[in-house]
Copies of this chain bind each other. A is one copy, B any other.
């Protein structure tokens, strides 16, 4: 079972699948370099201007554009230690300097410490995933607003909202587009289209223009553009996925508690199960893999004491529950012998 990559267990929206199937024979044509139809639909959805949206081949692509567009080699980019690593990867690949602030023990991003570090380090880019990956923690609208206001005025906030579809819109920033904030969104998670590589940013016009100078003009798969447009027209499917993911998180909590573990609060499509120590988390992960269940283990303290499990279908969750009980029993047996 593939519960390690936060892919959606619920697949793409049926209308998106049908649209993509119909589009395939025209794979010989390039996609629209300006993604006009999709951007118009996204502007309507988010209540912003067409010119405030840029479509790219996944959030990873957008993170690269942020780094290449707004960081000079040698400048500091700030993140939370152990948060989504691709941001750091782009910074390092471009000659920037990654600095970081650790998570709180409970998995929360430390917004005040992050803003303070941004000021002392003169960070030009600040990365905040909200909801965060891998912790699953979430900072509500007022906290994010306070955080953004506390950043240096010459810093760009990269607000990675890959998992924002799992949160009520009322809990997010109210304005679709805020100055000095690039909000990244994706069709990879709630929309179930990770393999399609399609995402977008809500950003000030000047940022969209800068990205326009360095992005791949024909970088987005044509079938993905058509599928994403159809997916936007099927909000009930996505709402159903979100509700099912919420049920799944609760089930994972119950599964963990039944075996004597706790979970960290999550607002995304995965849950961290707390194994207490890094060693126990590594053993637990290995015991699950021996039983053909693939999960992820965060690499950095303090969350390296946890395993991260993506919410599966009801059948997958049932199977995970049985397997986890076995693995937990084996872990305790090992511990007694150790």
A57 is contacted by which of B29, B57, B194 (Cβ under 8 Å)?
B57
Taking CB atoms and an 8 Å cut-off, the chain A residues in 2-23 that contact chain B are: 2, 5, 7-12, 16-17, 20-21
Indicate if the CB atoms of A17 and B11 lie closer than 8 Å.
Answer: no
Indicate if the CB atoms of B192 and A221 lie closer than 8 Å.
Answer: no
Indicate if the CB atoms of B218 and A197 lie closer than 8 Å.
Answer: yes
Indicate if the CB atoms of A93 and B213 lie closer than 8 Å.
Answer: yes
Q: A60 near B: Cβ within 8 Å? A: yes
Indicate if the CB atoms of A28 and B197 lie closer than 8 Å.
Answer: no
Q: When chains A and B are docked, how far (Å) is the Cα of A219 from the Cα of B194? A: 10
**What residues of chain B lie closer than 8 Å to A11, measured between beta carbons?**
25-28
**What residues of chain B lie closer than 8 Å to A131, measured between beta carbons?**
none
Taking CB atoms and an 8 Å cut-off, the chain A residues in 178-225 that contact chain B are: 188, 192-197, 213-214, 216-224
**Beta-carbon nearest neighbor of A28 in chain B:** B192
Indicate if the CB atoms of B195 and A60 lie closer than 8 Å.
Answer: no
Q: When chains A and B are docked, how far (Å) is the Cα of A217 from the Cα of B89? A: 10
Q: A299 near B: Cβ within 8 Å? A: no
A61 is contacted by which of B25, B86, B192, B216 (Cβ under 8 Å)?
B216
Q: When chains A and B are docked, how far (Å) is the Cα of A68 from the Cα of B8? A: 33
**Beta-carbon nearest neighbor of A2 in chain B:** B29
Q: A31 near B: Cβ within 8 Å? A: yes
A196 touching B5 in the complex, CB below 8 Å, given contacts A57-B216, A214-B93, A216-B60: no
**What residues of chain B lie closer than 8 Å to A197, measured between beta carbons?**
31, 57, 218-221
Q: A24 near B: Cβ within 8 Å? A: yes
Q: A30 near B: Cβ within 8 Å? A: yes
**What residues of chain B lie closer than 8 Å to A9, measured between beta carbons?**
28
Q: When chains A and B are docked, how far (Å) is the Cα of A194 from the Cα of B27? A: 6
Q: A227 near B: Cβ within 8 Å? A: yes
Indicate if the CB atoms of B28 and A194 lie closer than 8 Å.
Answer: yes
| Complex interface bits, A265-303 against B, C-beta within 8 A gives 1, otherwise 0 | 000000000000000000000000000000000000000
| Complex interface bits, A250-265 against B, C-beta within 8 A gives 1, otherwise 0 | 0000000000000000
**What residues of chain B lie closer than 8 Å to A2, measured between beta carbons?**
29
Q: When chains A and B are docked, how far (Å) is the Cα of A28 from the Cα of B217? A: 24
**What residues of chain B lie closer than 8 Å to A152, measured between beta carbons?**
none
Q: When chains A and B are docked, how far (Å) is the Cα of A10 from the Cα of B192? A: 31
Indicate if the CB atoms of A221 and B196 lie closer than 8 Å.
Answer: yes
25 contacts between A and B (CB under 8 A): A7-B28, A8-B28, A11-B25, A11-B27, A12-B24, A12-B28, A17-B24, A17-B25, A17-B27, A24-B24, A27-B192, A27-B193, A27-B227, A28-B194, A57-B221, A58-B216, A60-B216, A60-B218, A60-B219, A61-B216, A93-B214, A195-B221, A195-B222, A195-B223, A221-B224
Top 3 nearest A-B pairs by Cβ distance? Answer: A195-B222, A28-B192, A93-B214
